[in-house]
Amino acid sequence: MKLHSDPRSGQHIVTGYGAGWVAINGRRYERSLLLLPDRIVADWGPESAAALTEAHLASLAELTGTVLLLGTGGSQRFPPPPLLRPLVVAGIGVEVMDTGAACRTYNILVAEGRAVAAALIVE
């Protein structure tokens, strides 16, 4: 799916996604990544939702004050509760959804000026 962005915003916006890829500001990524309005961590994350570990999520505990959207690939897959513990302890709100929904929701929240991050699993 192709999405449209406001190129004047200066923020990272999802401009498209499909099976095996996500495009940020027109650049295509084919690996799981962490997306914030002001930065991209291109080497974050597992190759699939099944490979998600507590260590992947613990690395996100620094995102205090941020809503975290966890995109779990082609379908919504809730991680086992113990994996979410580092985020719960840090007081980070987590919304779990498929990666496409996480991309769309991320763009809406960025447009609203909200503090948001998207951990996108690209399968």
Q: Look at strands 67-71 and 27-29 and give their pairing.
A: unpaired
Q: What is the pLDDT of residues 71-90, one digit of tens each?
A: 999 999 999 999 999 999 99
Pairing of strands 39-41, 67-71: unpaired
% residues pLDDT > 70 (the chain): 93
Rg (CA), the chain: 13
Q: Is residue 72 packed enough to be buried (19+ CB in 10 Å), middle (13-18) or exposed (0-12)? A: buried
**What's the burial of 57, exposed, middle or buried (CB within 10 Å: 0-12/13-18/19+)?**
buried
Q: Is the pTM of this model over 0.85?
A: yes
Domains of the chain in sequence order: 31-120 (3.40.1230.10)
Alpha-carbon distance of 60 to 87, in angstroms, equals: 7
H/E stretch holding 20 reads: none
What distance in Å separates the CA atoms of residue 33 and residue 27, rounded to the nearest whole number?
Answer: 13
pLDDT greater than 50 at residue 8: no
24-46: average pLDDT? 96
Convert the pLDDT of each residue in 42-61 to its tens digit.
Answer: 989 899 999 999 999 999 99
